[in-house]
Amino acid sequence: MNIKITGSGSYIPSQVVSNADFANHVFLNEDGTLFPHPNDVIAKKFFEITGIEQRRYVTNDLTTSDIATIAAERAIATAEIDAETLDYIIVAHNFGDVKKGSIQGDTIPSLASRVKHNLRIKNPKCVAYDMLFGCPGWVESLIQAQAFIKAGMAKKCLVIGAEALSRVMDPHDRDSMIYSDGAGATVIEATEDSGGILAHESASYTYDESNYLYFGNSFNKEHNPDVRYLKMHGRKIYEFALREVPNAMATCLNNSGFNIDQVSKILIHQANEKMDEAIIQRFYKLYKKPVPTDIMPMSIHTLGNSSVATIPTLYDLLIKGEFENHSLNKGDIVLFASVGAGMNINAMVYQI
């Protein structure tokens, strides 16, 4: 018995926001003082570091559970299963449903319960719950779903990563330009087909690192002090990721029984192009190998950083042949890797 992704789906919001659309934003320092550079200089430096030219935001009528449902419907259709046969629905997110203009995240009921309701699943033994694990949440949810199937507790699971970061970002913080919205979903199940999940690795670093990403006040001191926004210590995250993620990837690959030359693609969380490229460089350096051409497809240029949604969305585009100059084919060895709030990291080796 092998455990494989049998269907995938994604939702990419229709609202396109380019770097030029930030031309009239008032960017401030943490102490509330005006940022010293004009916005065109900020946008240029931002692009050079992150690689982001555009990002996607949900329209005002949608929430995270709505776009999670759309991605789920597409994954279920691709898998050609009856939704009533699902044993688990796991939704990875970070902030719940935040309606446009709201100052609160709504997680009662859980987003997984909302998705199950939206799918009109009647089966009470289909268990729905949420995963809060930062950006690596979708990979961690896949790891849990695999464990349920291995233990005989499930046959089919729906695993979703969905986020609407545009609802929790501080418009006066230049880091807000990184964030985007989106959703990706996968059905995984036991199958007689070859391949599937071959190895995984997870870790949580909390002793010194737990507050590298956090909720804090707006840099605009005139904003309501009771409203919190997503904040990060970018340099600390960068250094942490370069130190820890390549090692986790290597441990995972070594445990899979495959070698570095057999890896077809690396699907890494689309956090920051410069950081992701540095992680891959460090990873291959561990094996004293050069980084192969086209090993790491990047969606961040046009889709931005949608947290838990980046990897499942990228996977769906690749598996369906909708990503230019990259594809996934039967038998390919894929390495997933992610890092995010916690600080959490994980990796997974998967054979298509």
Q: For residue 71, how many other CB atoms are within 10 A of its CB?
A: 28
User: Is the domain of 85 the same as that of 154?
Assistant: yes
User: Is the domain of 177 the same as that of 236?
Assistant: no
In this prediction the pTM is: 0.95
User: Is the domain of 274 the same as that of 339?
Assistant: yes
User: Is the domain of 136 the same as that of 222?
Assistant: no
User: Which of 166, 193, 220 is the last residue before a domain boundary?
Assistant: 193
DSSP 265: E
Amino acid at 149: I
Phi-psi region of 348 (alpha: psi -120 to 50; beta: other; left: phi over 0): beta
- pLDDT of 31 > 90? The answer is no
Is 322:310 a contact under the CB 8 Å cutoff? no
Domain harbouring 330, CATH code:
3.40.47.10
* pLDDT of res. 225: 85
User: Which of 193, 227, 250 is the last residue before a domain boundary?
Assistant: 193
User: Is the domain of 136 the same as that of 273?
Assistant: no
Mind listing the pLDDT tens digit for each residue in 150-167?
999 999 999 999 999 999
- Angle 273-286/234-256 helices, nearest 10 degrees? 40
3-state secondary structure 121-173: CCCCCCEEEEECCCCCHHHHHHHHHHHHHHCCCCCEEEEEEEEEHHHCECCCC
User: Is the domain of 338 the same as that of 215?
Assistant: yes
User: Is the domain of 15 the same as that of 94?
Assistant: yes
DSSP 108: S
**233-262 mean pLDDT:** 96
* pLDDT of res. 38: 86
User: Is the domain of 26 the same as that of 164?
Assistant: yes
Mind listing the pLDDT tens digit for each residue in 47-70?
998 999 999 999 999 999 999 999
- pLDDT of 288 > 90? The answer is yes
3-state secondary structure at position 241: helix
φ, ψ of residue 181 in degrees (nearest 5): -120, 155
What distance in Å separates the CA atoms of residue 14 and residue 230, rounded to the nearest whole number?
23
- Give the residues across from 90 on adjacent strands: 129, 159
- Count of structural domains within the chain: 2
User: Which of 193, 223, 244 is the last residue before a domain boundary?
Assistant: 193
Reported confidence tier of residue 149, pLDDT bands at 50, 70, 90: very high
User: Is the domain of 233 the same as that of 270?
Assistant: yes
- Residue-wise over 306-324: b if at least 16 C-beta within 10 A, else e? bbbbbbbbbbbbbbeeebe
User: Is the domain of 72 the same as that of 189?
Assistant: yes
Mean residue pLDDT across the chain: 95
Mind listing the pLDDT tens digit for each residue in 84-104?
999 999 999 999 999 998 888
Is 284:260 a contact under the CB 8 Å cutoff? yes
User: Is the domain of 240 the same as that of 98?
Assistant: no
What distance in Å separates the CA atoms of residue 178 and residue 276, rounded to the nearest whole number?
14
User: Is the domain of 109 the same as that of 222?
Assistant: no
**How many residues are given for the chain?**
352
Mind listing the pLDDT tens digit for each residue in 160-194?
999 999 999 999 998 999 999 999 999 999 999 99
Q: For residue 207, how many other CB atoms are within 10 A of its CB?
A: 6
Range of the domain at 36: 2-193
